[in-house]
A and B are shown apart, each in its own frame.
Chain A
Amino acid sequence: MADAIMNRGPVLARRTFLGAIAAAGATVLAGCSFDSTGSGGAGSGAALKTLVVSVSQNIDSLDPHYVNNGALVTPWGLLEGLVATDDKGSGVVPAIAEKWDVSADGLKYTFHLRSTAKFSNGDPITAKDFEWTYQRLLAPTGAGSAATDGANSYKPSLGIVGATDFLAGTITDWSKVGIKATADDTLEITLATPNSAFLLGMANVSMLLLHKATIEKHPKDWMQPENWVGSGPYALTAWTPTASIAMKKHSHYWDADNIHVDAVQGRVLTDNNAALLAYRNNEIQVTVPNFAVISKDKDLMNQVQEAPGYLVYFLQSMFTKHPAGADARVRQALGKAIDRKALAKIAVGQLPGPSTVPQAVPGWDESLAIDFDLAGAKKLLDEAGYAGGKGMPTIQILDFASNPFIEATLQMWEELGVKTKYNIVDVGQYSDIRYKPIEDPNLWGYSANTFGGLPTWNNWVIDCWGPASLPFFSLPTDQVDAYLAIQADESLDGATKTARLASMIDSYGSAEAKRFVKLANAAAAEPDESARIKGFNEAAGLRQQMGYQIPLMWGPNPLMVKPTVKNLHVNYSPSGFYVKGIEGSK
């Protein structure tokens, strides 16, 4: 039969051909499922029923216990913690914890849970749920380590007794960690040292509450809408990682009366032009502004709300065999030669960033600012033996995307007489080489980076370039490979690895770096707030003098919000806002 068909003349009758096309079309259409989020739109009536927000990254996971893009959406209202950030984003308000007591020495926080707090399936929330959640967060074999990127989301600056040791595997007895459910409605958290930023840190996405029974029953699929049980005011109804997420208000939430928006939808729009078009077309009400495009549109600029000082653009020194890299005067000269006001004019929406701690941090001192001082920079180079840039290696900036303000920075450095190079590489190569010694002895430079977070000293002095990481950059170049080899050694247990790395820092780290560690730790442990701020300022000042990080600009956490959306307060979380209290009209 087959032969017969193939040996006949032309056999594709028009009807057969069109039929085949139609059948194929029907098959492919049947195979592709459309989103169940609904078209949403910018509200559908007098009151705002559905809030539609653009999401700039694929939502790869909703697990708050390791670093992923779920942080962009879960804090909207899928999950809630003991406390939540206030409207300004710089303080906290009660959430599942109705109130809390702090011991006189500032070390013990006792959280009292609401009797009305329930999960989205109606299960009551108890302190044991929190203890289980935090044990999962800190377990070396928990989500943070099982996740493929290995980046646990716990913030060490919280300073919970034993937390980082338990996470590192140096202690295995959970009872030694300062987190205890002492009654159904009471959770005690003990800190190693007093920490005035502790409560704000507890509002971080990593400290949100999960539902134990669901995760144990569906260890792989607990994030799917059909299995979802959450602690926030909204329950997950749909989720397509590359396209959208949808959540709907549920009746079990303890404060349901203050949830005015029935549903929240996130639309993944990785192209910021597409997001702007959707915003202009009233399909979404909240998006990240594309300043380069909207800066001349007064109406749109008026719709921008910001949490200032959320992000710092900075350069991170690389390891070079050239002696110039080991001279703090040279690093300081490069920092002084940058006209940050000019940079901020290039990168619309950003501010000049003269220090690695943004001004938004309470108690920030003007003395931290690095002034643009070309003459002073030249003088420092002269003192270091590189007058007019003579004898200096080529200075590169390593990056994985082209940024005009980085090009401008290099041009400013050329004013010192040094040769520069903008080295744009694939992101994989960038991640491979940014901490490794540069082979070419006539090449040195910095890698371009950003870091964002809460406007607290703990965040900007402990979590970012803090005692755990800064001394690494002070190692002599010939010791770096050995240090990295210990880090990568799979045969070492956590305790041994930690001890060996500390030993290397002790032997080879610079005296200034060690002094910084002492200052930063002392400031973090200081119970008196003014002394604490003074200590942090001193630590941050010393860090800047070392020059391993050169600040460039400060960026806000900005959102463009339709005027019809009321009471949306931009905060310092990656998700940008919390949905409680938001209301509005079409």
Chain B
Amino acid sequence: MALLTFLARRIARLVISLLIVSMLAFGLLQLAPGTFAGIQAVGGGSTGLANQQTSGNNSALVQAYGENVPIPVQYWNWLSHAVVGDFGPSYKYPQSDVTEIIAQALPVTASLAFFAMVLALAIAIPVGVISAVRRGTWIDNSLMFVSTLGVAIPNYLMAIILVLVFSVGLHALPTGGWTGPQSMIMPVIALGAGMAGVFARYVRSSVLEVLDEEYVVAARARGGTPRAVLLRHVLRSAIMPLVTVAGPAFAGLIAGTLFVEQIFGIPGLGQYFTQAAIGRDMPLMMGCTVVFAAILMAMNVIVDLVYAAIDPRTRAGLGLSHETKRKAAVA
């Protein structure tokens, strides 16, 4: 029951937050300079097809999308459709509904983010632990140097380096495209490498903290092998801060795949999102914003649940423990 109450409360909060996000996004889009029509006309010149850009073009847009009604009414019109999953047709891709675009593109981006996260964790946890255990040695210094390098190299640069090495140099992988699982290898590395560097530093510092805890010293004193102490006592506690950052980081990865998608020509949501923002494609922009916000919020809920699952001490704080209720009843 506590879990259901917790979930119900968090979902209600999520819905309210999404509503606020959508209002803010809608309002800010109204304040942003330029219109879809005007921006299209700017680009039209280079395709040699543009007729004269006129306010008349803009008025066609205004009429077609009901932008001649007051903004609150426009928002209400948008919201009343959005709640049933209908974000309307995209301005830029009039043959597609925003919902269809998101349904096709989000799994692509989510798969990149997911495997990048798995890769980052798979690298960061052992690297962080080894660094902490070998604190101050050349191993620690080397691993932290590489981690810092990973953090410092932006993912688009990493992508180019990977292409130069594995595609142009070794001819082992295609430079881009989205033709099969092999198309994911370099994008996932490009996305995950930086995150691995960040996580590794987190793991190192938390392992160092935990190593000095009394219960770890006691475990050692009781004759526990270093490996057992590390796995059973140190790592379990040290992993907690990582859980805190990993959830939002995953949402950030989903929203941040843009450059990597662009370089590798991957049909993910990042490309649509940026183009929508630059081109003032209001329906697509709103759809992407709401979806990204929902993912971020959902990740926070999941992080809380994972927290509660791996650390009983946090359950009380989240209202997930009977003990909390009993204490409240006594009071």
Contact A487 B54 (CB under 8 A): yes
Number of chain A residues whose Cβ lies closer than 8 Å to a Cβ of chain B: 94
Q: How far is the CA of A175 from the CA of B96 in the complex (A)?
A: 34
> Which residues of A are found within 8 Å of B33, using beta-carbon distances?
425-426, 428-429, 432-433
B56 at the interface (CB under 8 A from A): yes
Given contacts A28-B114, A145-B60, A490-B68, contact A431 B94 (CB under 8 A): no
Contact B47 A28 (CB under 8 A): no
Q: Mark A415-430, 1 if CB is under 8 A from B, else 0.
A: 0000000000111111
Contact B48 A452 (CB under 8 A): yes
Contact B309 A12 (CB under 8 A): yes
B148 at the interface (CB under 8 A from A): no
B224 at the interface (CB under 8 A from A): no
Of chain A, the residue at the smallest CB distance from B164 is: A277
Of chain A, the residue at the smallest CB distance from B68 is: A490
B183 at the interface (CB under 8 A from A): yes
Q: Mark A476-489, 1 if CB is under 8 A from B, else 0.
A: 00000000110111
Q: Mark A120-155, 1 if CB is under 8 A from B, else 0.
A: 000000000000000000000000011111111110
Contact B118 A242 (CB under 8 A): no
Interface centre among B2, B163, B177, B264 (most CB of A within 10 A): B177
Of B49, B54, B106, B280, which contacts A71 at CB under 8 A? B49
Of A38, A468, A572, which contacts B179 at CB under 8 A? A38
B35 at the interface (CB under 8 A from A): yes
Of chain A, the residue at the smallest CB distance from B40 is: A149
Q: How far is the CA of A461 from the CA of B17 in the complex (A)?
A: 55
> Which residues of B are found within 8 Å of A400, using beta-carbon distances?
42
Q: How far is the CA of A271 from the CA of B270 in the complex (A)?
A: 14
A474 at the interface (CB under 8 A from B): no
Q: Mark A446-473, 1 if CB is under 8 A from B, else 0.
A: 0001111110000000000000110000
B91 at the interface (CB under 8 A from A): yes
Interface centre among A58, A243, A277, A311 (most CB of B within 10 A): A243
Given contacts A34-B180, A278-B175, A426-B33, contact A243 B61 (CB under 8 A): no
Q: How far is the CA of A425 from the CA of B111 in the complex (A)?
A: 35
Contact B35 A431 (CB under 8 A): yes
In B126-171, which residues have CB < 8 Å from any A CB? 160, 163-164, 167-168, 171
Given contacts A148-B65, A242-B105, contact A426 B34 (CB under 8 A): yes
Of chain B, the residue at the smallest CB distance from A452 is: B48
> Which residues of A are found within 8 Å of B2, using beta-carbon distances?
2-3, 6
B329 at the interface (CB under 8 A from A): no
> Which residues of B are found within 8 Å of A278, using beta-carbon distances?
174-176
Contact A489 B59 (CB under 8 A): yes
B27 at the interface (CB under 8 A from A): no
A33 at the interface (CB under 8 A from B): yes
Contact A150 B280 (CB under 8 A): no
A29 at the interface (CB under 8 A from B): yes
Q: Which of A84-92, A262-270, A377-385, A518-526 contacts B (4 or more CB under 8 A)?
A: A262-270
Contact B34 A428 (CB under 8 A): yes
Contact A428 B322 (CB under 8 A): no
Of B47, B175, B267, B320, which contacts A35 at CB under 8 A? B267
> Which residues of B are found within 8 Å of A221, using beta-carbon distances?
95
Q: How far is the CB of B6 from chain A (nearest CB, A)?
A: 9
In A264-307, which residues have CB < 8 Å from any B CB? 267-271, 273-274, 277-278, 280-281, 283
Q: How far is the CA of A71 from the CA of B49 in the complex (A)?
A: 9
> Which residues of A are found within 8 Å of B64, using beta-carbon distances?
146, 148, 150
Q: Mark B293-309, 1 if CB is under 8 A from A, else 0.
A: 00000000000001011
Q: How far is the CA of A21 from the CA of B125 in the complex (A)?
A: 16
Q: How far is the CA of A182 from the CA of B163 in the complex (A)?
A: 58
Q: Mark B45-73, 1 if CB is under 8 A from A, else 0.
A: 11111111111111111111100100000
Of chain B, the residue at the smallest CB distance from A2 is: B3
Q: Which of B76-84, B192-200, B210-218, B271-279 contacts A (4 or more CB under 8 A)?
A: B271-279
Q: How far is the CB of A509 from chain B (nearest CB, A)?
A: 15
Q: How far is the CA of A454 from the CA of B168 in the complex (A)?
A: 37
Given contacts A35-B179, A67-B40, A428-B34, contact A242 B48 (CB under 8 A): no
Given contacts A12-B310, A72-B47, A267-B176, contact A148 B42 (CB under 8 A): no
B251 at the interface (CB under 8 A from A): no
Contact B35 A428 (CB under 8 A): yes
> Which residues of A are found within 8 Å of B96, using beta-carbon distances?
241
Given contacts A32-B108, A574-B48, contact A7 B95 (CB under 8 A): no
B203 at the interface (CB under 8 A from A): no
> Which residues of A are found within 8 Å of B278, using beta-carbon distances?
427
Contact B92 A148 (CB under 8 A): yes
> Which residues of B are found within 8 Å of A449, using beta-carbon distances?
45
Contact A152 B40 (CB under 8 A): no
Q: How far is the CA of A400 from the CA of B308 in the complex (A)?
A: 49
Q: How far is the CA of A221 from the CA of B48 in the complex (A)?
A: 26
> Which residues of A are found within 8 Å of B167, using beta-carbon distances?
277, 281
Of chain B, the residue at the smallest CB distance from A222 is: B95
Of chain A, the residue at the smallest CB distance from B181 is: A29
Of chain A, the residue at the smallest CB distance from B105 is: A242
Main secondary structure of the interface of B (DSSP, over half): helix
Of chain A, the residue at the smallest CB distance from B282 is: A148
Q: How far is the CA of A428 from the CA of B278 in the complex (A)?
A: 8
Of B61, B118, B171, which contacts A281 at CB under 8 A? B171
B248 at the interface (CB under 8 A from A): no
A223 at the interface (CB under 8 A from B): yes
Given contacts A6-B2, A427-B34, contact A39 B93 (CB under 8 A): no
Of A151, A274, A428, which contacts B51 at CB under 8 A? A151
Of A25, A146, A151, A489, which contacts B40 at CB under 8 A? A151
A318 at the interface (CB under 8 A from B): no
Given contacts A32-B111, A428-B33, contact A223 B312 (CB under 8 A): no
Of A24, A206, A223, A273, which contacts B49 at CB under 8 A? A206
A9 at the interface (CB under 8 A from B): yes
Q: How far is the CA of A525 from the CA of B125 in the complex (A)?
A: 77
> Which residues of B are found within 8 Å of A58, using beta-carbon distances?
92, 271, 275
Of A33, A206, A452, A485, which contacts B45 at CB under 8 A? A452
Of chain B, the residue at the smallest CB distance from A459 is: B48
Q: How far is the CB of B282 from chain A (nearest CB, A)?
A: 10
Q: How far is the CA of A9 from the CA of B313 in the complex (A)?
A: 10
A205 at the interface (CB under 8 A from B): yes
In A139-184, which residues have CB < 8 Å from any B CB? 145-154, 156
Q: How far is the CA of A67 from the CA of B37 in the complex (A)?
A: 11
A11 at the interface (CB under 8 A from B): yes
Given contacts A244-B265, A277-B164, A487-B54, contact A148 B44 (CB under 8 A): no
Contact A21 B118 (CB under 8 A): yes
Given contacts A2-B1, A242-B105, A280-B168, contact A274 B37 (CB under 8 A): no
A45 at the interface (CB under 8 A from B): no
> Which residues of B are found within 8 Å of A485, using beta-carbon distances?
55
B291 at the interface (CB under 8 A from A): no
Contact A452 B61 (CB under 8 A): no
Contact B174 A39 (CB under 8 A): yes
B38 at the interface (CB under 8 A from A): yes
19 A-B interface contacts by CB (under 8 A): A10-B236, A28-B110, A32-B110, A33-B107, A148-B37, A149-B36, A149-B61, A150-B60, A151-B41, A268-B265, A273-B160, A428-B32, A431-B34, A431-B39, A432-B33, A450-B45, A452-B47, A469-B52, A487-B59
A binding-site residues for B, Cβ under 8 Å: 2-3, 5-7, 9-12, 21, 24-25, 28-29, 31-35, 37-39, 58, 60-61, 67, 69, 71-72, 145-154, 156, 205-206, 220-221, 223-224, 240-244, 267-271, 273-274, 277-278, 280-281, 283, 310-311, 400, 425-433, 435, 449-454, 468-469, 484-485, 487-490, 497, 572-574
